Amino acid sequence: MTEALLRNRIFFNDVLIVTYPIMATSIKKNGIEKRKSERIYELKNALAYAKAIVNTIREPLVVLYPKLTISSANKAFYKTFKTDAEEAIGRHLYEIGNKQFDIPLLKKLLQEILSKKRKFNDFEIENNFISIGHKVLILNAQKLKIAGKDDQMILLAIEDITEKRSLEKKVEVEKNTVVEQKHSLDLAQQKVDFITITSHELKTPATCIKAYTQLLQMEFAPNANAETKALLTNMNTQMDNLTYLIDNLLETTEIKGGKLYAINQV
């Protein structure tokens, strides 16, 4: 299109005024650039907002990409596993922190996510980590698909349940202790019941034997020889001892740790 066709001729008070219209193509181009700039600004704000949210999460989060190298992580991850972005970013998860994540089963699970599954939940590992000591961790992983990328990201969330498991073990130990104590007390009570019943059952025949012994003494002792008298006297004395034991059996025992101990000697 020539300049003659683009310009407009206008006469005002016999003065020729030549005007050129704004090119439509130029306006459209400027509009697209403006929208692009606005979109980039919005995306940058959204990214900053997302990073701020992730960094406030108390559980460690790490993004693996590509091929299980660390793309990013939150503050909780660096703090928990005593590492930093300089050491972690761009390296394989298994290499950081003196290879404390070099756990064969974890490798297998992450590889399965890349090849077959999309996620795994509540995978528990217990390990003696070099930098942080003994830990029990719950892992959750989710595969993230990114448009235009062949490699897929994995979002790995880690929850430290070491203290929780420790408390659960203590509760279990205390529970077992209570059960054992109850069992011991039940046994002790059975022993006390047995002794109570036995003492009452023995008291009647012992009383009868005591009476028969006294009758024998009254009948035969006056005319008996010295040996017979001694035997009858000893029999009577032993029956007194037996009656004493029966009458005081419960009073002369106490329970310690589910066992009966004599506290008086007869």
In a domain, 49, yes or no: no
Q: Point out the domain boundary residue: 138, 160, 182.
A: 160
- Residue 151 banded pLDDT, cuts 50, 70, 90: low
The residues near 39 (Cβ < 8 Å, ≥ 6 apart) are none
* Stretch 2-18: mean pLDDT: 47
| Domain CATH for 136 | 3.30.450.20
Range of the domain at 258: 168-262
Same domain (yes/no): 177, 230: yes
Q: Give how far Cα 160 sits from Cα of 52, 110, 140, 206, Å.
A: 22, 19, 12, 70
Supply the mean pLDDT for the chain.
Answer: 75
Same domain (yes/no): 90, 131: yes
Same domain (yes/no): 143, 235: no
pLDDT digits (tens, 9 = 90+) for 87-135: 889 998 888 877 888 888 888 888 888 777 778 888 888 888 877 888 8
Q: Point out the domain boundary residue: 128, 160, 192.
A: 160
* Radius of gyration, alpha carbons of the chain: 48
Residue 165 pLDDT = 85
Q: Record the pTM.
A: 0.53
In a domain, 86, yes or no: yes
β-pair partners for 260: 255
Residue 99 pLDDT = 82
pLDDT digits (tens, 9 = 90+) for 72-92: 898 889 888 888 888 889 998
- Residue 4 banded pLDDT, cuts 50, 70, 90: very low
Same domain (yes/no): 122, 182: no
Q: Point out the domain boundary residue: 99, 125, 160.
A: 160
Residue 10 pLDDT = 47
Same domain (yes/no): 136, 173: no
- Residue 5 banded pLDDT, cuts 50, 70, 90: very low
| Domain CATH for 187 | 1.10.287
Same domain (yes/no): 220, 187: yes
Same domain (yes/no): 145, 179: no
Between CA 90 and CA 88 the distance in angstroms is 6
Q: What total of structural domains would you count in the chain?
A: 2
The residues near 143 (Cβ < 8 Å, ≥ 6 apart) are 113, 114, 117, 118, 119, 152, 153, 154
Same domain (yes/no): 152, 185: no
Mean pLDDT is lowest, of 12-21, 26-35, 53-62, for 12-21
β-pair partners for 255: 260
- Residue 138 banded pLDDT, cuts 50, 70, 90: very high
The residues near 198 (Cβ < 8 Å, ≥ 6 apart) are 249
pLDDT greater at residue 189 or residue 31:
189
Same domain (yes/no): 150, 202: no
In a domain, 41, yes or no: no
pLDDT greater at residue 200 or residue 17:
200
